[in-house]
Amino acid sequence: MANGTVAVSEKTFYEESTNKYSGILSWLLTTDHKRIGLLYLYTIGGFFLVGVVLGLLMRLELIAPGETIVDAQTYNSLFTLHGVIMIFLFIVPGLPAIFGNFFLPIQLGTNDVAFPRLNLLSWYVYIIGAVLVLISLVLPGGPIDTGWTFYIPYSVRTSTNVSLAIFAAFVLGFSSILTGLNFITTVHRMRAPGMGFFRMPLFIWSLYATAWIQVIATPVIGITILLVILERTFGVGIFDPALGGDPILYQHMFWIYSHPAVYIMILPAMGVVSEILPTFARRTIFGYKAIAYSSLAIAFVGYLVWAHHMFTSGISDTARWIFSLLTFIVALPSGVKVFNWVATLYKGSIDPKPPLLWVLSFIFLFSIGGLTGLVVGSLATDIHLHDTYFVVAHFHYVMFGGTGTIFIAGLYYWFPKMFGRMYNIKWANIAAALYFIAFNMLYFPKFILGYMGMPRRYFDYLPEFTTLQEISTVGSWLMAITIIIIVTNLIHAGLKGKKASANPWGGVTLEWQTTSPPPLHNFNRHVEVNHEPYDFSQLKELEYDSK
Amino acid sequence: MDQNKHSEHHHVTGYGVYILVWLGLIALTSITVTVAGIDFGMVALAVAMTIAAIKSALVINIFMHIKFDQPIFKVFLLVSGFTLIVIFVLTFFDFTYR
């Protein structure tokens, strides 16, 4: 892709800092996009593990009917916090903030993002938001118990710390907007010479589409949150019907952000898939432009479907059929992607390394998540399935089976580049197999439970649901073991793993054309792009040893 | 040389234009307030929104210099504005027919 050979770097970005400090200060005051990406990795990774523990506690409570380990009120707080932490602290910022920060400038062939200081500020704003969530847990009033959707009128009337917790979501939104602005500007202004829009890797395309949603949609949730705080504090009647407000207006405003936010969560994951597949199939991606345009199409159509979350809320019949119809349109660009991914594998020279195994898991799990989305997107079936475990199963297949799986796939793919060390492949393969089994054990029974009528957010259930609830809980233990294996393997690799080469997988995008880990300014040479992003004919010029 | 190049693209708007736009904005605000006092039913909202849109256009184009800037910024603004309109229209499919 680029002219010249890769020079051996004197120092990596770990050994050279953007500021005069050393030690912890050199990290806390860094403006290097790679270090900021790693700061995000450690904090977001930490919150992911907290979310996992909360999920495990919920599953443990549900191992038998009746009260098992927590009471109803604690269970309400558990599922709210699990949702808030997983959505706002893990899955929304996850891929863009970690891998986007680390790899967007490298894949564009530049030395940093457009606004490096703003980038660091985004991380601090994220941390402030996270600290506010934590403070809301311990203040008098108790942890928020509204569910992560903060529906009115309950969220106006409950005495738990709603105002502070939702203000935290408001602050986190700013972090998201700043990252989005930074990425849009970087993509427009800082591409290496020769890199036109259609020579950008597809991960960049997905981040670009995501950044637009972050910038345009996030202010809507910001305004909504401020209105709820106003209503709670001063009793202004905007949403609460007792004060003359309209509770459905709240649901509209919440989902006008939160549905596009689903695409903030999934689009970067789709971008990572489009990076991993060509590398391990040793051939160019099938339908490059179709995948690039479908990212933009998903970003746009994602704005048109929000009220499918509200079919049973009392919105007009006209709105219900229009939104149901529009919902089906999202399946088109999503389908374009899935078919192109599968076609990329066709007649490829498949190298089944761990990142590819995780992507294959993703295609399977995400397809189930996507197709069951059509079941709840259909007006008639949704009336039966709304607020049941079916919905819980559906969004876990999309969010965890989709974005969560790819979060781990991305880690396995880029870990050698980020840390310059290689993990144990055998254990990574075992984790991939266990994950697939654990995931389906944990979440598939919920489809059946939901169909049978098990409502979501209940800490108790009828005895006939026991067997399926037990299977799900055992699945959660297997999932915990899998996550322990993954984390242990990666931490061990980071500390004691074998040194990784510059290009351990045989990738051809720009990040594989610099050292592992990269130097401070990403490349020790002038970068000029004269290949398509997935042109494997250049592999023989690059430092790649297939053994 | 770079500085000269930069100044070639820099558009200077006269005070007269600014004052004219300012007076225009005040006039439009007065119309909004007056119209709010008359009962137009459903049309009242459309009138208020139209006036607000004209005022926004004036501020964005003249005060924020978008009129004299690169076309890409106009594209960005139009995308955002279009999204907002789509969101309004779709929301009214609920409120109008409820």
Per-residue pLDDT reduced to its tens digit, A452-499: 999 999 999 999 999 999 999 999 999 999 999 999 999 999 999 999
pLDDT number for residue B6: 47
- Structural domain includes residue B2: no
pLDDT number for residue A260: 93
Chain B residues inside the 8 Å CB shell of A256: 87, 91
Alpha-helix residue ranges (DSSP H) falling in A420-502: 425-452, 466-496
With a cut of 70, list the residues of chain A below it in pLDDT: 1-9, 543, 545-547
For residue A235, what are its two tokens?
Answer: 């009793």
- Structural domain includes residue B18: yes
Residues ≥6 apart with Cβ < 8 Å to A173: A218, A219, A221, A222, A225
Minimum CA–CA partner of B95 in chain A: A316
Which residues make beta-bridge pairs with A499? A421
Q: Which of B90, B92, B95 to mutate to test the interface with A (most CBs of A within 10 A)?
A: B90
| DSSP conformation letters of B28-90 | HHHHHHHHHHS--TTHHHHHHHHHHHHHHHHIIIIIT-GGGS-HHHHHHHHHHHHHHHHHHHH
pLDDT number for residue A547: 55
Residue range A85-137, pLDDT digits in tens:
999 999 999 999 999 999 999 999 999 999 999 999 999 999 999 999 999 99
- Structural domain includes residue B73: yes
The pLDDT mean for chain A works out to 93
Q: Which CATH architecture has domain A24-541?
A: Up-down Bundle (1.20)
- Cα dihedral sign for A23, A29, A35, A36? positive
pLDDT number for residue A22: 87
- Structural domain includes residue B61: yes
A-B contacts at Cβ under 8 angstroms: 43
> Which residue segment(s) compose the domain that B51 sits in?
10-95
Separation in Å, CA of B87 to nearest CA in chain A: 7
Whether B91 sits inside 8 A of A303 (CB atoms) is: no
The SS3 of residue A237 is: coil
- Radius of gyration of chain A from its Cα atoms, rounded to whole angstroms: 23
Residue range B32-89, pLDDT digits in tens:
998 888 887 778 888 888 999 999 999 999 999 998 888 888 998 888 889 888 999 9
pLDDT number for residue A389: 97
Classify burial at A189, counting beta carbons within 10 Å of its beta carbon; exposed 0-12, middle 13-18, buried 19 or more.
exposed
Which residues make beta-bridge pairs with A388? A455
- Structural domain includes residue B4: no
Whether B93 sits inside 8 A of A216 (CB atoms) is: no
- Cα dihedral sign for A221, A223, A228, A229? positive
Q: Which amino acid is at A229?
A: I
Q: Which amino acid is at A97?
A: A
- What is the C-alpha to C-alpha distance for residues A427 and A345, in angstroms, rounded to an integer? 24
- Structural domain includes residue B24: yes
- Under DSSP, the state recorded for A192 is P
pLDDT number for residue A440: 98
Chain B residues inside the 8 Å CB shell of A307: 90, 94
- What is the C-alpha to C-alpha distance for residues A340 and A149, in angstroms, rounded to an integer? 34
Q: Which residues of A touch B (CB under 8 A)?
A: 188, 212, 215-216, 220, 248, 252, 256, 303-304, 306-307, 314-319, 322-323
Single out the residue of A237, A81, A240 nearest to residue A161, CA to CA: A81
A316 vs B83, B86, B98: nearest CB = B98
Which residues make beta-bridge pairs with A2? A529
Band (pLDDT 50/70/90 cuts) for residue B5 is very low
Q: Is the pLDDT of residue B1 over 50?
A: no
Q: How many domains does chain B have?
A: 1
